[in-house]
Amino acid sequence: MAVYRMWKHSRKDAILLAISVAQFAITFALASTWEAMPIAGRIAGGILLTFMMAYNIIVVSHLFTHMPWFVSSKLNAVVSVVNSANIGQSVQAYELTHVRNHHRHNNDRPKGGEPTRDRSSTYRRGKNGQHEPLPSYALRGAVDSIADRVMELAAVVRLWRVGAREENLLALASKKPDRRRRELLQLQLDRAAHCLTLAGFVVISWQWTVMVYLPAFFCALTLVNLQNYYRHYGANPDSRMTDSVSHYGRLYNLVTFNDGYHQEHHLSPATHWSKMPVINARHQERLAAQPRIVSPVPAMVGFLDRGRPRLHDGQAQEAG
């Protein structure tokens, strides 16, 4: 008798599912209990909410977009909806812009007078082949994301379907008709989920929504941009072996499901998170054969890595 397989890649992904469900429940609990909370509790709740959203985008939803957890496409669709509510944006759109754009063009630089092909590239608004300044990259990106979410709220008039003017998303969607329909439908469902969740928060407590949720959402987006910036800052975008920055701290990689193996992730984005050390071992000789950046600190606090070389400028020193 055949045994039913629920998990597509690993049962370890059950931990990520549990985190997703816990975040969903905790967020509604924070909204529901806000009025009864003392000031200290309200502040702590806001910090927790910021952390949960940033962690979900950086770790949970990021891993899901690369390798959906379930064999069943219907279960994966449910996870996408739940985490879209958790992160205030469509997980399906995240897959299109991250997996099909960022990982295709790998934080490229402008060439021949054309803008970067990677729309999230740290060089996109930089000058003279340099990274965009961090404050601009982190804050502008968060403002742009908020503006996109406002447009999605307004898309209720078309039940959150992807509009004809959303050329970037339409260009990234699959060219295969059946798969394209599924992706655009999932994107629509995701948008409905996070917009209706926001409406639910307003009903529960508009004060919490305005004073806690929206500021936490903005701060989480800023932290995510900060993370992406130092995952690539100083790396050489012209080399597949050195276009990203890794951090091998055991504790960090334990709590973030090997998020620190970022160079390895770029080398093999379709490899399950549990196998990242294997990818590191497989490419060890090639990685060691040329200058690359290994950060002593996680990307979120990459600004503390003051001795980081600038390989994009042609510096060949090892990271300090």
Tokens 């905790």 sit on residue: 26
| Same-domain status, 217 and 308 | no
Give 3-43 pLDDT, tens digit per residue.
468 999 999 999 999 999 999 999 999 999 999 999 999 99
Closest CA to 9 of 268, 270, 266: 270
Pair (43, 122) in one structural domain = yes
Res 113: pLDDT: 86
Count other C-beta atoms under 10 Å from residue 5's C-beta. Answer: 10
Could you tell me the two tokens for 178?
């059946």
**Alpha helices (runs of H) in 95-248, residue ranges in sequence order:** 103-105, 134-154, 167-172, 177-204, 206-208, 214-230
With respect to residue 2, please indicate whether it lies within any of the assigned structural domains: no
- Distance in angstroms (rounded) separating the CA atoms of residues 205 and 240: 48
What are the respective helix, strand and coil percentages of the chain, to the nearest 5?
65, 0, 35
Residue 4 lies inside a defined structural domain of this protein:
no
- Segments of the chain scoring below 50 in pLDDT: 1-3, 316-320
d(CA 252, CA 241): 22
If asked whether residues 302 and 222 sit together in one domain, one would say no
Q: Same structural domain for residues 108 and 52? A: yes
Residue 177 lies in a domain: yes
Domain identity same for 259 and 216: no
Distance CA 107, CA 122 (A): 7
CA–centroid distance for 230 within its chain = 14
Give residue 318's pLDDT: 38
Q: Is residue 118 part of a domain?
A: yes
DSSP state of 122: T
* Within-domain flag for 260: yes
Beta bridge partners of 7: 70
Same domain, 154 and 282: no
Residues 225 and 304 in one domain: no
What six digits make up the tokens of 218?
A: 């903005």
Residues 6 or more apart in contact with residue 94 via CB below 8 angstroms: 57, 61, 62, 65, 87
In the listed set 173, 202, 230, which residue is the last one of a domain according to the structure?
230
Q: Mark whether 37 and 113 lie in a shared domain.
A: yes
Q: Are residues 20 and 114 in the same domain?
A: yes
3 lies in a domain?
A: no
Chosen domain end from 169, 199, 230: 230
Give CB contacts under 8 A, 24+ apart, made by 107-110: 107/232, 107/235, 107/237, 107/243, 107/244, 108/237, 109/237, 109/238, 109/312
- Check residue 316 and give its pLDDT: 46
Asked if residue 239 is part of any domain, the answer here is yes
Q: In which domain, by residue range, is 301 found?
A: 235-320
The residue from 199, 230, 261 where one domain ends is: 230
* Separation CA 202–CA 218 (nearest Å): 17
Q: What is the pLDDT of residue 211?
A: 97
Neighbour-count burial of 162, counting CB atoms closer than 10 A to its CB (0-12 exposed, 13-18 middle, 19+ buried): buried
Asked if residue 241 and residue 178 are part of one domain, the reply reads no
Same domain, 96 and 221: yes
216 and 242 belong to one structural domain: no
Within a domain: residue 188? yes
Count of domains for the chain: 2
